[in-house]
Amino acid sequence: MQDTIKQPLLSVVLPAYNEEASVPRASQVICALLEQANIRHEVIFIDDGSKDKTWNAIETQASSCPQVRGVRFSRNFGKEAAIFAGLAQAQGDCVVVLDCDLQHPPEKILEMYHLWEQGYQVVEGIKSSRGKESPMHTLAAKTFYSLISNATGIDMSRASDFKLLDRRAVDTLLAMREKNAFFRALSSWIGFSTAQVEFEVQPRLEGESKWSIRSLTKYAVVNLTSFSAAPLQLITLLGLVVFVCSVVLGFWSLWQKLSGRALEGFTTVILLQLIIGSVLMICLGIIGYYVARIYEEIKDRPRYIVADHCGGAADDGQAETDL
């Protein structure tokens, strides 16, 4: 230990939700890889309120390998929260975040680490292909990424959560108080000297993807609105369009009246009522959504609640509720 004391520490953060089958493999593959490469490391699993035996699997790994630690959430708070909890726990000089199902190939960690050694502070994993997906999923992902790329001004079409961050970048991210932090976009948004590493998304070996259509839609809406006020501006645009239509219709109705053919206007009135009514409802909905988001942020609740720790320096008196 004495002669390695100066060697930098690499923290590996793995969010895990119902991954009892993936945890042992991830832990063993990553530890073996980093030991072989002679990189001082710690591996941190964040159990995001799993309903299966993920926590037992993490405890087993932590007791058999001193580099492995675990944090358990009191319930499922979502992958973003798990990533931020991992960043808060990590003590390394640099931190790698990757999926516990190893769809992000661990060998690439070495490439990322070497880029970090060369002075890059953010190393982004870029998907060279999106792996196996249904055409619907691909289409939805494309739409979401083109919207979010426009909102952030960063090309996100091949972005992933597989990243290596320098301590400076990690501290910058942790200092951001927003509750609905979108890790993938924020870690690009903070800037710093950035390098990219391409990787092929691997097939999932155990378990299944945790994303349902509902959760993906929620993910898209939450992250879009946290990065962009465009939907609010869309309301103004809609208002303008409706205004132009009403001017045209107004002139037309006047013309009808003046030429003595005014009585036949009921269909127009009904249509106008419906159109304007629904546009107003949609707009109120959008505004309501943003108001709800402001309310959420202002309540200042923690991003996640930690219920348990295991392994490593677990009992270091760390606050139970990391913000």
Of 54, 61, 103, 188, which lies in the binding site for Mg ion, with binding defined by CB under 5 A? 103
Structure tokens at 136: 């619907």
Question: Based on CB atoms, which residue is closest to ligand UDP, 193 or 209?
Answer: 209
Report what 290 binds from Mg ion, ligand UDP, none; CB cut-off 5-8 Å by kind: none
Q: Cα–Cα distance between 33 and 110 in angstroms, integer?
A: 9
Q: Are 48 and 15 in contact (CB under 8 A)?
A: yes
* Of residues 18 and 188, the one with the C-beta less far from ligand UDP: 18
* Of 218 and 257, CB closest to Mg ion: 218
Distance of closest approach, residue 103 Cβ to ligand UDP, in angstroms: 5
Q: Which does 125 bind (CB under 5 to 8 A by kind): Mg ion, ligand UDP, none?
A: none
> What is d(CA 75, CA 301) in angstroms, rounded to the nearest whole number?
15
Distance CA 166, CA 99 (A): 19
Partner from Mg ion, ligand UDP, none contacting 311, C-beta within 5 to 8 A by type:
none
Question: What residue 80 binds from Mg ion, ligand UDP, none (CB within 5 to 8 A, per partner kind)?
Answer: none
Report d(CA 100, CA 126) in Å as an integer: 17
Largest pairwise CA distance in the chain: 99
Instruction: Choose the one of Mg ion, ligand UDP, none that binds residue 211, judging by a C-beta under 5 to 8 angstroms depending on kind.
Output: ligand UDP
**Shortest reach from residue 49's CB to ligand UDP, in Å:** 8
Where are the alpha helices (H) located in 75-124, listed in sequence order?
79-89, 108-117
Tell me whether residue 70 or residue 231 sits nearer to ligand UDP (CB atom).
70
Rounded to whole angstroms, the Cα distance separating 213 from 124 reads 26
Q: How far is the CB of 19 from Mg ion (least distance, A)?
A: 9
Which CA distances in Å does 181 have to 80, 185, 311? 7, 9, 28
Q: How far is the CB of 133 from ligand UDP (least distance, A)?
A: 9
* Cβ atoms within 10 Å, residue 212: 9
Q: Does 101 bind Mg ion (CB under 5 A)?
A: yes
Residue carrying the six token digits 């530890």: 31
Taking CB within 5 to 8 Å according to partner kind, which of Mg ion, ligand UDP, none is near residue 231? Answer: none
The residue count for binding Mg ion (CB under 5 A) is 3
Binding residues for ligand UDP, rule: CB under 6 A, are: 15-17, 19, 48, 76, 78-79, 82, 99-101, 103, 209-211
Residue 137 burial (CB count, 10 A): 15
> Minimum CB separation from Mg ion for residue 13, in Å?
15
